[in-house]
């Protein structure tokens, strides 16, 4: 009977597990079908201001369509600093996208797909309530890891309200997107273990009901973190209604009150000088108890992000009532030495706009520098006296900013040019447009605590460099090897000394005179060549170079063991690369030079092949991004023949005038030919 009972239990257990597995499988199918079609693979051309210029690079991430009109949610660190965004759906359709809102404070971005004439309906996913998530809930992470498009992993929620603190738990750690750009100040992250890798950023985290409950942001070591969908919903709503995310700022920082006698409220740790809270009289050590009549209770670090968001939700220009308590100066201490008497205070404050941490950047090409707007947050972090001016973020070698005496440096803050004060980037850009090439400008700038002056000369368009000509020396147009004693003996020439011809250059006077490979040159104009050791290799060259160009010489040669006299006219040394004309294309960021005689010899190109040699390709430029390489022989641009630097410049002038979406370059590279397609953003 016991055996029968055990078997019955096992059968029931197996049936129960099978049913549970089928139910779970059906839930996954439902969730996948609801969101997966709306997943997008995002390919971008990223931008970075570096060393005085704008550098571009390819990057990729993920996103999800969240409206029938084609609005896409993704990360700011995927789509924020870019010049081109392409979104590809699982069904193969591909669209360009434009940023609608970029919000580094949450690391979120809202994009608008440019669907054009495509009339097919767009799939879209629905946002769920991230606050409903609990530890252990099943979730699916969808995205494009390592640029492998359209994948899905499964996991569970480990902590729906994760914040990052120091090792001792005494401070909240700041999360940074790089360069001092703070993010996540309003975020309690959803920690889960569904695998995400590079490229998953911006992809949806989905519950088994088929709702997006988070936007995946970062991961590693088996831990993944997503931005809650409730935060994403707020950003999306602001983007659609106002085209920006409006947030208020009071200039306050907080800690939990768990170490204080009063266990209600939030401990104010810092009041920014000049901010609304400072103007209202709040101080570090005060305890914030109410905001617009709503009680505040922060006893753990997990409760700080919601408080910061609550205050940021008070729109700029809106008044808010804040209540706080302050320790009474003459309060008596209890038996532990603590002073517990506090008085209550209330004030009405007007919210100021919450700025981004980092300002906009720009390239000032006439000076060869990149600059950035100084924000209040940057001024506070760097302890500047104010937020006026533009900060130099990079200086290009060899350009006017570096050549100035003293030279401009990264970190300098330009505060005036020719007596005109500079407060914002837009003013500086406008001023630079009015300065003509060749003008010398007096520049006031701050370096640390010092206020300095320098003079910068504005340059115009860089000109084509004309190659110089060197005094030509006589040249024979051959390559040789020393006839060493062992080689001479093996050829049956005994103790003969001289040079064996190993190569004859095409179209040379040596070729015209009938010199052949394998000839042994023993004398020049009757003077013997005493060469039998490797270190004698330069003797023939020196003998020839000492003779006048254009004069015939008589070479004594041995051919098939017979001595012959062969007259050869000496020609001048072919021009070298330093004598070739050069030209640059600023818009596509690469340089070229004319061919010289030795180029075709070195590369074994067919006789008469025309083109210019690519000499430089700026890392991160449009040419570099497309794959143009130094050493390529550029034959044509958009089917315009390029035979020399003059025709190259004419082709570039035409292309810059037409501003085509694609610039097609036909090149010879090594032993083959190929096309390079450059896709510049002419608005850069």
| Residues with catalytic function | 77, 107, 201
> Given the DSSP bridges, would you call strands 248-249 and 252-255 parallel, antiparallel or unpaired?
unpaired
Is there a contact between 371 and 364 (Cβ–Cβ < 8 Å)? yes
How many Å apart are CA 51 and CA 28, to the nearest integer?
Answer: 49
What the block records as the tokens of 151 is 């994948």
Is there a contact between 238 and 246 (Cβ–Cβ < 8 Å)? yes
How many Å apart are CA 344 and CA 288, to the nearest integer?
Answer: 10
**DSSP string spanning 584-599?**
EETTTTEEEEE--HHH
> Given the DSSP bridges, would you call strands 223-228 and 248-249 parallel, antiparallel or unpaired?
unpaired
**DSSP string spanning 380-395?**
HHHT-S-S-SEEEEEE
How many Å apart are CA 303 and CA 297, to the nearest integer?
Answer: 8
How many Å apart are CA 519 and CA 555, to the nearest integer?
Answer: 10
How many Å apart are CA 6 and CA 17, to the nearest integer?
Answer: 16
**N- to C-terminal Cα separation, the chain:** 84
Handedness of CA 192, 193, 195, 197 (dihedral sign): positive
Selection from 460, 459, 458, 448 nearest residue 391 by Cα: 448
Give the CA distances from residue 315 to residues 59, 119, 598, 664, in Å, rounded to whole numbers and listed in that order: 35, 38, 70, 50
Residue 21 CA, chain-centre distance (Å), reads 45
| No. of helices (H) and no. of strands (E), the chain | 14, 45
What the block records as the tokens of 59 is 């990057």
Selection from 590, 610, 585 nearest residue 600 by Cα: 610
H/E element holding 653?
helix 645-658
Give every CB contact of residue 449 below 8 A, 6+ residues apart in sequence: none
What the block records as the tokens of 369 is 């520098």
∠ at Cα 228 (225, 234), nearest 5°? 145
Handedness of CA 388, 455, 47, 431 (dihedral sign): positive
How many Å apart are CA 369 and CA 114, to the nearest integer?
Answer: 34
How many Å apart are CA 235 and CA 362, to the nearest integer?
Answer: 26
Point out which residues pair with 572 in neighbouring strands. Answer: 474
Alpha helix segments (H runs only) across 546-628? 597-603, 622-626
Alpha helix segments (H runs only) across 282-399? 304-312, 376-382
What the block records as the tokens of 221 is 């070591």
Is there a contact between 515 and 504 (Cβ–Cβ < 8 Å)? yes
Alpha helix segments (H runs only) across 52-137? 76-79
Point out which residues pair with 159 in neighbouring strands. Answer: 191
User: In a 3-state reduction of DSSP, which class is residue 537?
Assistant: coil
């Amino acid at each position: 009977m016991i055996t029968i009972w055990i078997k019955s239990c096992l059968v029931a257990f197996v049936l129960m597990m099978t049913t549970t597995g089928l139910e779970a499988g059906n839930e996954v199918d439902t969730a996948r079908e609801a969101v997966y079609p709306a997943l997008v693979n995002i390919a971008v051309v990223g931008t970075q201001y570096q060393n005085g210029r704008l550098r571009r690079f390819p990057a990729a991430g993920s996103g999800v369509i969240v409206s029938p009109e084609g609005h896409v949610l993704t990360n700011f660190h995927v789509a924020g600093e870019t010049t081109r965004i392409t979104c590809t759906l699982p069904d193969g359709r591909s669209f360009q996208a434009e940023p609608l809102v970029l919000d580094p404070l949450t690391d979120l971005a809202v994009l608008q797909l440019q669907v054009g004439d495509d009339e097919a309906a767009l799939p879209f996913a629905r946002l769920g309530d991230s606050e409903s998530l609990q530890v252990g809930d099943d979730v699916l992470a969808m995205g494009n890891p390592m640029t492998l498009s359209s994948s899905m992993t499964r996991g569970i929620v480990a902590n729906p309200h994760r914040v990052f603190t120091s090792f001792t738990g005494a401070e909240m750690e700041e999360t940074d997107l790089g360069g001092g750009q703070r993010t996540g100040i309003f975020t309690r992250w959803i920690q889960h273990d569904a695998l995400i890798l590079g490229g998953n950023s911006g992809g949806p985290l989905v519950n088994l009901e088929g709702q997006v409950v988070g936007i995946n942001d970062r991961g590693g070591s088996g831990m993944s973190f997503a931005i809650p969908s409730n935060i994403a919903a707020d950003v999306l709503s602001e983007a659609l209604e106002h085209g920006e995310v409006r947030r208020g700022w009071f200039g306050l920082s907080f800690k939990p009150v768990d170490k204080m006698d009063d266990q209600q409220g939030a401990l104010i740790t810092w009041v920014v000088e000049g901010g609304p809270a400072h103007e209202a009289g709040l101080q570090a050590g005060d305890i914030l108890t109410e905001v617009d009549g709503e009680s505040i209770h922060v006893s753990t670090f997990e409760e700080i992000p919601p408080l910061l968001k609550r205050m940021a939700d008070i729109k700029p220009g809106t008044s808010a009532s804040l209540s706080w308590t302050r320790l009474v100066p003459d309060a008596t201490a209890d038996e532990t030495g603590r002073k517990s008497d506090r008085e209550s205070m209330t004030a009405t404050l007007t919210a100021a706009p919450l700025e981004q941490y980092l300002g906009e950047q720009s390239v000032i090409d006439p000076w060869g520098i990149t600059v950035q707007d100084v924000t209040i947050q940057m001024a506070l972090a760097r302890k500047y006296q104010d937020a006026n001016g533009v900060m130099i973020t990079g200086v290009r070698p060899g350009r006017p900013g570096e050549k100035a005496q003293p030279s401009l440096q990264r970190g300098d803050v330009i505060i005036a040019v020719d007596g005109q004060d500079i407060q914002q980037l837009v003013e500086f850009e406008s001023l630079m447009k009015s300065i003509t090439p060749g003008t010398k400008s007096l520049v006031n700038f701050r370096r640390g605590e010092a206020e300095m002056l320098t003079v910068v000369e504005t340059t115009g368009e860089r000109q084509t460099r004309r190659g110089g000509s060197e005094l030509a020396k006589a040249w024979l147009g051959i390559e040789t090897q020393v006839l060493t004693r062992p080689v001479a003996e093996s050829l049956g020439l005994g103790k003969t000394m001289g040079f064996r011809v190993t190569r004859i250059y095409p179209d040379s006077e040596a070729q015209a005179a009938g010199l052949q490979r394998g000839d042994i040159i023993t004398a020049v104009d009757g003077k013997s060549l005493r060469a039998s050791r490797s270190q004698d290799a330069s003797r023939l060259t020196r003998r020839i170079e000492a003779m006048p160009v254009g004069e015939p010489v008589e070479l004594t040669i041995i051919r098939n063991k017979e001595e012959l006299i062969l007259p050869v006219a000496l020609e001048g040394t072919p021009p070298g690369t330093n004598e070739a004309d050069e030209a640059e294309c600023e818009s596509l960021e690469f340089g070229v030079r004319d061919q010289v005689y030795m180029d075709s010899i070195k590369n074994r190109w067919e006789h008469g092949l025309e083109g210019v040699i690519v000499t430089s390709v700026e890392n991160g430029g449009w040419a570099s991004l497309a794959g143009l390489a130094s050493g390529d022989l550029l034959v044509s641009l958009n089917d315009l023949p390029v035979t020399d630097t003059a025709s190259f410049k004419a082709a570039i002038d035409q292309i810059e005038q037409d501003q085509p979406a694609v610039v097609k370059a036909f090149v010879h590279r090594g032993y083959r030919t190929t096309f390079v397609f450059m896709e510049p953003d002419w608005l850069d």
